[in-house]
Amino acid sequence: MVGPTTTPGPAAGTPSSRPPSYQLPPNKAIIVTGGASGIGLAVTQLLLSEGASVAVLDRDEAALGRLAATQTPGRVHTQSVNVADPKAVESAVDRAAKELGPLWGLVTCAGIVRDKTLLKMSDEDWRAVVDVNLSGTFYALRSAAHRLKDQKEGRIVAIASIVGLRGGFGQANYAASKAGVIGLVETAARELGRFGITVNAIAPGFVRTPMTAAYGETLEEACKAESPMGTVCEPSDIARTVRYLLAPEASHITGVVLRVDGGQAIGA
C-alpha cells in the first residue's frame, strides 16, 4: 500500500487571470476520485494549474506515485483507495480534509467497464461494475456531503455517461450503473440544496482515455460517425465542464445531467 502523500506547491487559490466570479474559493480543497488517469487526471491537472488543492483518491498506486512526483503547480494529496469500500472512502475523505483543509467540492471519476452481452454476463461482472461505478459514487458523495453540509456550501460533480441515458450494447452493467448515478445525483440535488450544495452529473460520449484505448480504433470511428461534429472528446473537454460546474458562478445549476459528447447522443 502506498501511504498518503502531499506535494507542496504555491498556496491554494493563487490568483489567476480569471474574473473573480470564476475563481475557486481560496484555501478550500477538491476531492477527485479516479483522478490518476484519463478524465480524472485531466480534472486534477486543470484544478492544480489554477492553484487549487486537490485530493486524488484512486486505486492505481503507480499512477498516484507518478502524479505526486510531477511538478504540477498547486497542492496535491494522493491516497490509494478502493472506492467500492465504504469504510476506506470515509477515512480517505476524512484524511484529505485533515491534510488540505475544508472541502469545496467532490468530483467522482473512478469507473470501470466489463463489457459482455447480458446473456453472457456473470454475476461477478455485474457486481464489479455496479460496486465501483454506482456504489463507489454513493460512498464518496455521502462522505463529502457530511462535511459540506456543515459549511453550508459546496459542489459535487459526478461523471455519468450517455450510456446511462440510452443504454449501450454489451454494457448492461455499465449502463445500469451510470443510470443509477444519474438517479443518485438528482436525488442528492434535491436533498442537499438546502445546505447550499449543488450536485450535477456530466454525461460524456466517447472520450479518448486509457479506458477507451482498450477498445481499439473501430469504436472510436463508430462514435465519430454518430457525432454531428464528426469528433470524439478529449479528457480536457470534460475537465473544463467540471471546472465550470465547480465555479462560484454555477451556484444555481443543480440536478442537471449535462451531455458533453459532441452531439453523439442525438446522432449525426
Ligand X SMILES: NC(=O)c1ccc[n+]([C@@H]2O[C@H](COP(=O)([O-])OP(=O)(O)OC[C@H]3O[C@@H](n4cnc5c(N)ncnc54)[C@H](O)[C@@H]3O)[C@@H](O)[C@H]2O)c1
Residues annotated as catalytic (active site), given as ranges: 174
Give the one residue of 31, 39, 54, 260 binding ligand X; rule: CB under 6 A.
Answer: 39
In whole angstroms, the minimum distance from the beta carbon of 38 to ligand X comes to 2
Altogether, the residues listed in the chain come to a count of 268
H or E element that contains 88: helix 86-100
Q: Is 83 in the site for ligand X (CB under 6 A)?
A: yes
Q: Which of 95, 98, 126, 97 is nearest to 113 (CA)?
A: 126
Counting contacts by CB under 6 A, is residue 236 touching ligand X?
A: no
159 binds ligand X (CB under 6 A): yes
CB of 29 to ligand X, least distance (A): 18
Specify the stretch interacting with ligand X by CB under 6 A; choose among 9-17, 47-55, 142-150, 199-207.
Answer: 199-207
The CB-of-210 to ligand X minimum distance in angstroms stands at 4
Q: Which three three-digit cell numbers place residue 233?
A: 472528446
Q: Which of 45, 198, 209, 264 binds ligand X (CB under 6 A)?
A: 209
Grid cell at residue 115? 463489457
> Which residues ranging from 48 to 77 are in contact with ligand X (CB under 6 A)?
58-60, 63
The residue among 74, 45, 49, 68 whose CA lies nearest residue 239 is 45
Q: CA end-to-end span of the chain, whole Å?
A: 47
Annotate 205-243 with b (16+ C-beta within 10 A) or e (fewer). Answer: bbbebeebeeeeeeeeeebbebbeeebbbebebbbebbb
Going by C-beta distance under 8 Å and a sequence separation of 6 or more, which residues neighbour residue 21? Answer: 247, 248, 249
Q: Should residue 180 be labelled a site residue for ligand X when binding is judged by CB under 6 A?
A: no
Q: Is residue 5 close enough to count as binding ligand X by CB under 6 A?
A: no
Shortest gap between Cβ of 171 and ligand X (angstroms)?
10
CA atoms of 86 and 216, how far apart (whole Å): 34
Rounded CA-CA distance 75/221 in Å is: 38
Among 206, 237, 243, 264, binds ligand X (CB under 6 A): 206
* The one among 34, 51, 74, 105 contacting ligand X by CB under 6 A: 34
Q: Which is nearer to ligand X, 13 or 35 (CB)?
A: 35
Query: Which residues of this chain interact with ligand X, rule CB under 6 A?
Result: 34, 36-40, 58-60, 63, 81-84, 109-112, 132-133, 136, 159, 161, 204, 206-207, 209-212
